[in-house]
Amino acid sequence: EPEVTQTPSHQVTQMGQEVILRCVPISNHLYFYWYRQILGQKVEFLVSFYNNEISEKSEIFDDQFSVERPDGSNFTLKIRSTKLEDSAMYFCASTEGQGGNYGYTFGSGTRLTVV
């Protein structure tokens, strides 16, 4: 079964450093998403991406965050200057379409720890 692949699985970074989280969505999917889950809290939407541009972003997704699809397969989330409160599990997801019959496939996540 096709999978969404995320790397790395764990990342530890110092406060103020830049991090890039990588995702390889399913090859025929067109819509891509990033979500995060702070430990013990619910999963929160960050951003959606379609046709090489952001289609929606949440208030969490401020100027410190950016997304990119640098080639035909990768989808990245960059945090420019990490803060302690950015520590969370970050999930990438993709879907083939946005109609009701389309499901969302999530990756296994990257656990980001900012120290």
Partner 1 sequence: AQSVTQLGSHVSVSEGALVLLRCNYSSSVPPYLFWYVQYPNQGLQLLLKYTSAATLVKGINGFEAEFKKSETSFHLTKPSAHMSDAAEYFCAVRLYNQGGKLIFGQGTELSVKP
In the complex, the residues that contact partner 1 under the rule CB under 8 A are: 6, 31, 33, 35, 41-45, 48, 50, 55-56, 58, 91, 93, 95, 98, 100-101, 103-109
Q: Which is nearer to partner 1, 50 or 64 (CB)?
A: 50
* In the complex, minimum distance from the CB of residue 35 to partner 1, in angstroms, rounded to a whole number: 8
Q: Cα separations (Å) of 98 from 32, 104, 108, 115?
A: 11, 9, 22, 38
Q: Which is nearer to partner 1, 6 or 87 (CB)?
A: 6
Half-sphere exposure of 89 (CA within 13 A, CB side): 13
* In the complex, minimum distance from the CB of residue 103 to partner 1, in angstroms, rounded to a whole number: 5
Rounded Cα distance, 93 and 46, in Å: 11
What 3-state class would DSSP assign to 84? helix
